[in-house]
Amino acid sequence: MNDDFLVFANEDQPNSELALPPWAILVVDDDHDIHLSTSLVLKNTQLLGRNIELVHAYSAREAFDLLLKRHDFAIILLDVVMENDFAGLDLVAKIRGILGLKEVRIILRTGQPGHAPEPGIFNLHDINDYRLKTELTNNRLITALSAALRSYEQICSISANRRGLEMIVHTEAELMECTHFTDFAAAILKHAPKVFDRECTGFVAKVYPHTPTHDDIGACSPDLLDSVLEKLKQRPQSSSNHHFDSCEIWLHLQAGNDQAVIYLQFKTLLTEFINFGQIATVFAANTSACLGHLCQLERLNYLAYHDELTELGNRSWFIDQLGAAPPPERGTFAVAILDLCRFADINDGLGYEVGNALLRSFANRLQSHYSDSNTMVARLGNDVFGVFGPITQVNPDLLFHLFSTPLQAHQHSIPVQIAIGVRSVNDEPLNGLQLLEQANIALNLAKIKPHPRWASFSPDMEANTRWRHEIIRQLRTAFQANLLQVWYQPQVHLQTNEVSGVEALLRWPGEVGFIQSPSVFIPLAEYSGLIVEMGDWVLDEACRAYQELQHLPNAPKRVAVNISMPQFRTGTLSKSVNQSLLKYKLAPNVLELEITESIAMDEPEIVRSCLSALRTIGVDISIDDFGTGYSSLGQLHALPIDSLKIDKSFVDDIDEEKSGLYVELIIGLAQRLGLSTVAEGVETKTQAHRLKELGCTIAQGYYYAKPMPLHELKRWLEARANAI
């Protein structure tokens, strides 16, 4: 902090209420005439600009009892010989030792020259002067008193400075422990009277460019509550100087860009306190350092509970607010989690600056809509936001409508889609984390639903989620223990009846049957990310098995392997394929990779780029479950594919009553595009015959063979070759 300057206001003549108090002088003597003469000499006399208050004691014992009750005497005029020859000196010892009065000045007087104390006594008990009563004429008495008062002022100033510095150190220790500005301000007002050694009132406030409000006030004395804002508006405008008046102080605190002021109003004149400016400056400097520490803590606390980009509360803040909210008294409240769909595509396509601008725009729309309600809004994650409030304000219909118009992000006007998970709250006790987790369970379900994508939590969802996580745990354990197997289903060429290929299918066998079907554990593997590692293993196993089959008669011409979307997202799929082909010395065209139609359309740029790299290697590409998705002919034509797989649901239409119109359309489309076709789920001779008539290339299904382990496939191939 830069050196502070002191600015003193012009002092008007103080009124009688604020006049400096008189000097209190105690006269201790057993001679009544001495009391009378002293009173006459000092009557109507001012010393150092202040009146004099004389207090009389007629014995050492009486003086001691008086000093037990009153400690504000500046001077004691003390007779040496009273009750006995050493009564005065004994009282001096008690004043300094027992009573601990170090500042009061003592002038010894005696009428007997032979009773002067030893020189060492003066130093031991800090005696200011020693005079014979006959020597103390009027002028000499006033001179002695003036000198003693100057000494008293200096000693009091030194003592006050010492006490002030001690209190500043003590105050600083407490201020450094404060974590909120209100506590910080209250501690300043609590310790200010001790620092300046006098009663005071005041307030502590933060300083901003805007007009002061009650939110800026950290702490304020009760008697100033009505006038605090007006005083703050009229404060001295100097940004770095402290301001002193006859009975008030303005201290300016600065820590970096953070500023605050301390206003103190005293009941006694500050001019009585010789070095109050020095104490005030030191106090302000130390308090500014503490303010800097507090602002750093507040900043860290803000970052811990707020999102810097949108300035909304973050996940931790939202959980705390949910937990602290009282149970709804009337009606139903709701926690809603909003997920901004395909935000990653926007980030990748338009850049992170536009992505950040979109998030701010999303947050601003939420804040603007709920600004006048008792609804809480937070940013829970990258593109996930939370809302909590009355269900009349927090419901899917309202939220979908709120984001039905595009958001502005720099020069871009971007339409957005959201998925919503809702957790209704009635009169039940609130657990913030549990509410958020349950709303998130609903969100996960909403994200896999067709539009509109929203779901409301129900207890069975939580049980299902626990079940899913348990299956994922078991699946991970089984995979690591090599308990999963790759089974193979033959594919037969309809024109030649030869085995044209096999499809590699992942299975999870147990002691009896299968632990879980592929329709259960494959989606869970994709959800958990385990599918990437499992997919690489299946690819490697399929290549190894194909190599083993080559010495058999009627060996398949190719092996097909299914690929999931997470494998495409890794960016290393083509590298893994190439490594497996090289490892087992296989020609690229013996490997066919199958992707579902929905995968092909989900993230087309990523898929198209990866498929192009795979075609460069030389592998074949097949669209699985064709006809069940939402692809267009334009999108289909843009993909580097070799064949279409007709879904079993269409093959089932081929019987004695149905002609298989959809199958016929798909086969006709494939022929025009120069693609081969593979029919899945062929279970009857009628289906196989009709597919052959329609020009389908290849068929697979239970009519020919079920999926089987590699050793059974070898026996099946040998048996089929012998039968032919």
Domains, the chain, in order of start with CATH, read 19-158 (3.40.50.2300), 163-304 (3.30.450.40), 315-457 (3.30.70.270), 481-723 (3.20.20.450)
pLDDT score at 364: 95
Helices (H) and strands (E) counted in the chain, each on its own, are: 25, 26
* Burial readout 341-380 (b: 16 or more C-beta within 10 A, e: otherwise): bebeebbeebeeebbebbbbbbbebbeebbeeeebbbbbb
* Phi, psi for 111 (deg, rounded to 5): -95, 0
Looking at residue 118, what DSSP letter applies?
Answer: P
> Pick from 60, 120, 53, 52: which is nearest to 85 by CA?
60
275 and 157 Cβ atoms separated by less than 8 Å: yes
Q: Let me know the angle formed at the C-alpha of 102 by 98 and 104, rounded to the nearest 5 degrees.
A: 110
> Pick from 304, 386, 295: which is nearest to 339 by CA?
386
pLDDT score at 632: 57
pLDDT score at 358: 95
Contacts of 706 (CB under 8 A, 6+ apart): 489
pLDDT score at 658: 64
Contacts of 31 (CB under 8 A, 6+ apart): 79, 111
pLDDT tens figures, 478-518: 999 999 999 999 999 999 999 999 999 999 998 787 888 99
Give residue 77's identity as a one-letter amino acid code.
Answer: L
Contacts of 449 (CB under 8 A, 6+ apart): 455
Give residue 164's identity as a one-letter amino acid code.
Answer: G
191 and 167 Cβ atoms separated by less than 8 Å: yes
Give the whole-angstrom CA distance, residue 335 versus residue 337. Answer: 7
Which two three-digit tokens encode residue 346?
């926007």
Give the whole-angstrom CA distance, residue 101 versus residue 93. Answer: 10
Q: How many CB atoms lie under 10 A from the CB of residue 447?
A: 15
> Roughly how many angstroms between the first and final C-alpha of the chain, as a whole number?
98
427 and 433 Cβ atoms separated by less than 8 Å: no
* Phi, psi for 396 (deg, rounded to 5): -60, -40
57: left (phi over 0), alpha (psi -120 to 50) or beta: beta
The model's pTM = 0.55
Contacts of 305 (CB under 8 A, 6+ apart): 313, 314, 316, 317, 320
184 and 171 Cβ atoms separated by less than 8 Å: no
Q: For the purposes of burial, counting CB atoms within 10 Å of the CB of 651, is it exposed (0-12), middle (13-18) or buried (19 or more)?
A: buried
* Ranges of the chain with pLDDT below 70: 1-19, 112-120, 161, 164, 238-240, 270-275, 327-331, 428-430, 450, 602, 629-635, 656-659, 724
pLDDT score at 570: 86
pLDDT score at 633: 65
Return the beta strands (E) in 392-442 as ranges.
Answer: 407-409, 412-414, 418-425
Spell out the SS3 assignment of 188-208: HHHHHHHHCCCCEEEEEEECC
Which two three-digit tokens encode residue 169?
């150190």
* H helix runs in 210-275, sequence order: 228-233
667-673 LR contacts (CB < 8 Å, sep 24+): 667/694, 667/695, 667/696, 669/633, 669/644, 670/643, 670/644, 671/695, 673/636, 673/637
